[in-house]
Amino acid sequence: MLVFSALADPTRLRIVEMLGNEENLAASQISKRFFISPSAISQHLKILREANLVQMETKAQQRIYRLNPEGITEIENWVLRMKITLHA
């Protein structure tokens, strides 16, 4: 699943956790919390979008990111299937 390979990177995992705690963040706000370039953060955000984990909305000159509930539900469903398999 693309979701898990996206979350395997510590930076991307941290971004997802940040968005879980703060709901909506501009790319610039996310970038300021890391010691890597804004373009590197943009690449991480692109991977998270492609994995369906985050959504992006453009407001004026800002790109606002939030968690994508569908992507989180996909993870939940996988975990539930694994739990059922363990108990079968």
Which strand (E) or helix (H) includes residue 45? helix 38-50
- Cα–Cα distances (Å) from 12 to 3, 7, 43, 53, in that order, read 11, 6, 10, 10
> 0.85 cut: is pTM over it?
yes
Domain range list for the chain: 2-87
23: DSSP letter: S
Q: Facing residues of 66 across strands?
A: 55
pLDDT at residue 1 greater than cutoff 70 = no
Whole-number pLDDT of residue 88? 72
15-46: per-residue pLDDT in tens? Answer: 999 999 998 999 999 999 999 999 999 999 99
| Record: fold of 2-87 | Arc Repressor Mutant, subunit A (1.10.10)
Q: What is the mean pLDDT of residues 41-64?
A: 96
Band of the pLDDT at 80, cuts 50, 70, 90? Answer: very high
Q: What is the mean pLDDT of the chain?
A: 94
CB 38 within 8 A of CB 28: yes
